[in-house]
Chain A
Amino acid sequence: MCRDCGCSLGPAAARAPFAAQPATKGRIESIEVITAILDENDRVATHNRAHFDGHGVLAVNLMSSPGSGKTSLLEATIKALQGELKVAVIEGDLATENDAARIRACGVPAIQITTGNACHLDAQMVHDALDDLPLDGLDVLFVENVGNLVCPASFDLGVHRNLTLLSVPEGDDKPAKYPVMFRGADLALITKVDLLPHIEEFSVGRARDSLREVGFRGDIIELTRRGGPGFEAWLGWLRSEVAARRAAAA
C-alpha cells in the first residue's frame, strides 16, 4: 500500500495455486497477445514517475559494475551540494548495509532496499522504498542500483535519468561487452580518471568510440571523485536537470 497516494500497489501478489483439471478433452485455441513481458513493471515505473513529478523531485538511477564508484560519487556529490540541493538515496545493495551507512554518514537520508530477490532493482522495489521516504522538499533522489552490468538494464524504475558509470580500471571495452546497459543510459560517466596515468591500456578515446558504437547518444563526462573540471561538469549537469524538473513541476 502506497502511503503517499493511497494507491493499492502492494508487494507483488502471491501466485494462485493451480488445481489440476479432470481429463476431459477440450478445444485448442491460439490466442494472439502481443504485450511487453515487463508491462507490469513498466506500469509501476510510470506510477513511480508520477510520484516524483508530483513532488518536483528529479530521480536518477546509477548503474555500473560492482565497484565502479557509485557510492563514492554520491558521497562526493552530497558534500559538494550541501546547503544547495536536498538529496536522498535509495540503496540497492541487497547484501549489506554498507552503502546506506556511508550515505547516512554524509547527513542525508538513505533507504536500504531489503525486499529484493534478484540481481537488479525493479519498479516495485523502488515504490516500496518510497513508503519510508518522504519526497516533500527533496530536490534529487538517487537510486544506486545493484552493481551489475547486465540485469538492471531491462527494468525501468520510473526515474527521469539513467546513468551508467565506467571506471578506468574496468577497461575501455566494457560498452562493447555490455551494449544494452550503456545504450540505455542518458549520461555516461567515466570514473576514476585519476588512475589514467597508472593504467595506460585505458584509452578515453576508445571508450568514447565504443559508447557511440553501441548507440549511446548522451553526454560523456570524465571525472574523479576528488574534484576537478569533470566533477564540476557533473554537478553542472545535475543542476540543470534539477532546474528542468522544477520548471516542469511549476
Chain B
Amino acid sequence: MCLAVPMKITGIDGFNATCEAKGIQREVSLFMLQGEPVAIGDHVLIHVGYAIQKISAEEPALPGTCSTKCSSMHELAICQALIEQVQRVARDNAARRVISVTVSVGPLSGVEAKLLEHAYPLAAAGTVAEHAQLVVVTVPVRVRCRTCKAESEAAANRLLCGSCNDWHVDVIAGEEMLLQRVEIETADEPVH
C-alpha cells in the first residue's frame, strides 16, 4: 500500500531523529524501532515519518513497499487517540491505574480489531493505561431496507438488503469506533 524510503540518520533526540536523503531533511520517529538500536550514520527505511527498519548502506536507494507496518501504523495513530481519551478519564476519576479499556469497532470504521490489539501496547507504553487489557468488541454491519423495511446483517462490501436484495439501504450499525468503558483502580481507599 505505502512506500518506504531509505534515509540516513543525521541526529537523534530520544525517540526523534533527523534523517537525510538526496538533500532532503526529515524529522522522523524511532518509535517503531524500539529494541533495534540505531546510531547517527545508520541507514533506515522511512515510511511516512516512522523509521521502520534498519538497512545497510549498500541497499539500493529505491523505495520499497510496505504493507504490514503501514496498516499497524494506522492503528497506532488510532490507539494514540484512544490513549489520550483513556488518560483523560483516568485523570478525571483520580485513577492510579487502568485495568481494562473496552472499545467497539465496526467493519465500516476502516479499523481492524486485530491490528488495534497489536498496536495498543506501543501506544499505552509509559501511560496510566500501560498494563490495561484492551477489549475489542466487533459490531457486525446491519442495514435497514428502504424498500421492504427489513433489517439484516450485511458484508462490508455488499451493503444489500438481506431479504429483497435491494441496494437502497441505510446502514444502522457497523460504522462505529467508540471508547465504551474504562475500568480503573482509584487511589482513594488505602489499605487498612
Chain A: residues with CB nearer than 8 A to chain B? 15-18, 21, 24-41, 65-66, 94-97, 114-120, 122, 146-151, 153-154, 175-177, 179-181, 183, 210, 212-215
- C-alpha gap A115/B70 in the complex (Å): 17
- C-alpha gap A49/B56 in the complex (Å): 45
Determine if B29 and A35 form an interchain contact, defined as CB atoms under 8 angstroms apart: no
Which listed residue (A40, A117, A151) contacts B81, Cβ 8 A?
A40
Which listed residue (A32, A122, A213) contacts B158, Cβ 8 A?
A213
**Residues of B within 8 Å of A, CB-based: how many?**
68
Instruction: Tell me how many residue pairs across A and B have CB atoms closer than 8 Å.
Output: 184
Name which residue of chain A comes closest to B91, CB basis: A16
Chain B: residues with CB nearer than 8 A to chain A? 1-3, 5, 24, 26-29, 46-50, 63, 70-71, 73-74, 76-78, 81-85, 87, 89, 93, 95-97, 99, 103, 107-111, 126-128, 130, 156-160, 167, 169, 171, 176-191
Determine if B1 and A119 form an interchain contact, defined as CB atoms under 8 angstroms apart: yes
- C-alpha gap A147/B66 in the complex (Å): 13
Most buried by B among A32, A94, A146, A151: A151
Question: Cβ of B83: which chain A residues have Cβ within 8 Å of it?
Answer: 15
Name which residue of chain A comes closest to B26, CB basis: A114
Determine if B179 and A37 form an interchain contact, defined as CB atoms under 8 angstroms apart: yes
Name which residue of chain B comes closest to A177, CB basis: B157
From residue B94, how far is it (CB to closest CB) to chain A in Å?
9
Name which residue of chain B comes closest to A215, CB basis: B159
Which listed residue (A29, A41, A122, A154) contacts B184, Cβ 8 A?
A29
From residue B106, how far is it (CB to closest CB) to chain A in Å?
10
Provide a sorted-by-A list of 21 A–B residue pairs whose CB atoms are within 8 angstroms.
A18-B130, A24-B190, A24-B191, A25-B189, A26-B96, A26-B185, A27-B185, A29-B184, A30-B182, A36-B176, A37-B78, A38-B81, A97-B24, A119-B71, A122-B77, A151-B70, A154-B74, A154-B111, A212-B167, A213-B159, A213-B167
Determine if A118 and B74 form an interchain contact, defined as CB atoms under 8 angstroms apart: yes
Assuming the contacts A150-B74, A213-B167, asked whether A94 and B157 have C-beta atoms less than 8 A apart, the reply is no
Determine if B184 and A33 form an interchain contact, defined as CB atoms under 8 angstroms apart: no
- C-alpha gap A72/B161 in the complex (Å): 38
Which listed residue (B111, B127, B156, B178) contacts A35, Cβ 8 A?
B178
Determine if B2 and A148 form an interchain contact, defined as CB atoms under 8 angstroms apart: yes
- C-alpha gap A29/B74 in the complex (Å): 31
Determine if A151 and B74 form an interchain contact, defined as CB atoms under 8 angstroms apart: yes
The 7 closest A-B pairs by CB, nearest first: A117-B49, A151-B74, A179-B157, A180-B110, A215-B159, A21-B96, A26-B185
